[in-house]
Amino acid sequence: MLDSYAVIGNPISHSKSPLIHTAFSQQTNQSMQYDAILGPLDGFQAAVEKFRQQGGKGLNVTVPFKLEAYRLITHLTERASIAQAVNTLKFENNEILGDNTDGAGLVRDIEWNLDTPIAGKRILLMGAGGAARGVILPLLQQKPSVLVIANRTLHKARALQQQFTSYGNITSGNMMSFSNENFDIIINATSASLQDALPGLPAHVFMDNSLTYDMMYRHEPTPFLKFAQQNGAQRIADGVGMLVEQAAESFFLWRGIRPQTKPVIALLKSQI
Ligand code: ATR
């Protein structure tokens, strides 16, 4: 019997995780299958339990269950505990280990795929919701000179600054607080791109050699990436690399093997 893994979310039909993990398992010759499960909005826990009873080894958890998954686990990694959200479950004996691989995926994409070391850099992170919270610790662990959290609603950015202040040099403000500053790495972790909107950042934060990153992706550059390009940013990236890298971290947690991500990123880009 093949070891069984899946992604659970609602909706789920759009998920690229089955494609990514199937590519990883073929590349590394693992005897496993990876499916997609539509989790009932009022029955997440029961669906996880059923999968586990059937011998399932691990799950990826996506919208809207990342917080619920956090409450279900028996052990948590530090990065999941601090993110207060779980995107990967591993079932072993009677234990459920919860991990959050999103931040590690972002860091790996920026540093390895986009060839941009984070140490000593000035980073602007836009957004103060779940997506932003999940990447703050892994970014600070790379020792940027400063990590600035900018959010439309200031008090949420301030709260994140307070929570993470002992992990590195972190400050906060609203989107317009930084009109006289520029940054080496600018990351959009707001959900504005989902609404086809701009997060409201002033145009002069971009430098020629800044890396501008949108954690969302679509078949063409997001409105934010287009805005960055129009205002001088020459290096832009969307969230496809992060998506594949966070999957590779989950795969490593489950199978103990690191798959090669570059061919899978290329495969995904050709399909979006
Ligand atoms: P997620 O889990 O994707 O982070 P979330 O927790 O709902 O979703 O957070 C959404 C983030 O995107 C918030 O930081 C939100 O800003 P507010 O705290 O001010 O609501 C931000 N956001 C959403 N739409 C935005 C927009 N049009 N402009 C700027 N920020 C936006």
> How far does the centroid of ligand 1 lie from the alpha carbon of residue 185, in Å?
19
Please state, rounded to an integer, the average pLDDT across all residues of the chain.
Answer: 95
Our mutation pick for probing the ligand 1 site, out of 84, 152, 175, counting the most ligand atoms within 8 A of Cβ, is: 152
Q: Which amino acid is at 7?
A: V
CB of 130 closer than 6 angstroms to any ligand 1 atom: yes
262 included as an active-site residue? no
pLDDT (0 to 100) of residue 204: 85
87 lines ligand 1 (CB under 6 A): no
When pLDDT is averaged across residues 196-208 and rounded to a whole number, the result is 89
pTM above 0.75, yes or no: yes
Lookup: tokens for 223: 């409105």
Give the model's pLDDT for residue 29: 97
Confirm or reject: Cβ of 223 under 6 Å from ligand 1. no
Which tens digit of pLDDT belongs to each residue from 126-162? 999 999 999 999 999 999 999 999 999 999 999 999 9
What band does 235 get if pLDDT is binned at 50, 70 and 90? very high
| Whether the domain at 3-100+241-271 and the domain at 103-238 fall into the same CATH topology | yes
- Mean pLDDT for 189-199 is 93
Domain borders along the chain are 3-100+241-271, 103-238
CATH code, 103-238:
3.40.50.720
Band of pLDDT at residue 177, cut at 50, 70 and 90 = confident
Residues 6+ positions from 170 with CB-CB distance below 8 Å: 136, 140, 146, 147, 148, 149, 160, 161, 164
Please provide the CATH number assigned to the domain covering 3-100+241-271.
3.40.50.10860
Our answer on whether the CB atom of 61 is closer than 6 Å to any ligand 1 atom is no
The number of the ligand 1 atom at minimal distance from the alpha carbon of 127 is 14
Residue pLDDT, tens place only, 24-73: 999 999 999 999 999 999 999 999 999 999 999 999 999 999 889 988 99
pLDDT tens digits, one per residue of 249-266:
999 999 999 999 999 999
Nearest atom in ligand 1 to the alpha carbon of residue 66 is 2
Q: Name the residue with the closest Cα to ligand 1, atom 18.
A: 153
